[in-house]
Amino acid sequence: MSGIPPFPPEKAALRRELIAARRSLSPESRRTAARALARSALALPELAGARTVAAYVSVGAEPGTRELLDALREAGKRVLLPLLLPDNDLDWAAYEGPGSLAEAAHPGKMRLLEPSGPPLGPQAVTGADAVLLPGLAVDRRGMRLGRGGGSYDRVLERLERAGAHPALVVLLYDEEVVARVPEEPHDHPVQAVATPSGVVRFTP
């Protein structure tokens, strides 16, 4: 027995539904959405004013981030990308362009691409001005539903312990901004969601 409590059934059911909807999107729809998402995200003041942005490389049917990563670098931002550790925690390394990505050493269930530069340590994320979070949905209160692996829960806990307050932004498809997602005590609200159609902001 691991001692880890099971996910609430309503979270598991919603995750299955959202993942199935993503997988039903055509490759062309995903490419079009990725271009629009990059434009929406770049319009966020939190990203425009950021010097360092912690981001991630999208996988599978996730809303595409590759164009956004390159646009952030072209805008002079320092971009940090995660390195998945064996215990599902995240280290970080600088993104130096598409040629700097390599297959993850600890890919888990998905084939991940990671930066090939030197690891900067899990604490590196605390120096980011904005953190882009993956997710499956965000509700109208700003509560995020992740995939359930716990990696970004640790990131958010690390930020809180360090007293760091970067802007937290989730990248989603339009339909994934929903009325309400199941919430647990460790869940953190985010400041904004960027979708292909634009930006949804939340006030504390």
- Residues belonging to the binding site for substrate are 57, 62
Hey, which residues does 28 pair with through a beta bridge?
none
Show the tokens assigned to 79.
């971009």
Pairing of strands 113-115, 101-103: antiparallel
Indicate the annotated binding residues for ATP.
11-15, 144-152
- Cβ-proximal residues to 129 (8 Å cutoff; 6+ apart), any chain: 46, 49, 50, 51, 52, 53, 166, 167
Indicate the annotated binding residues.
11-15, 57, 62, 144-152
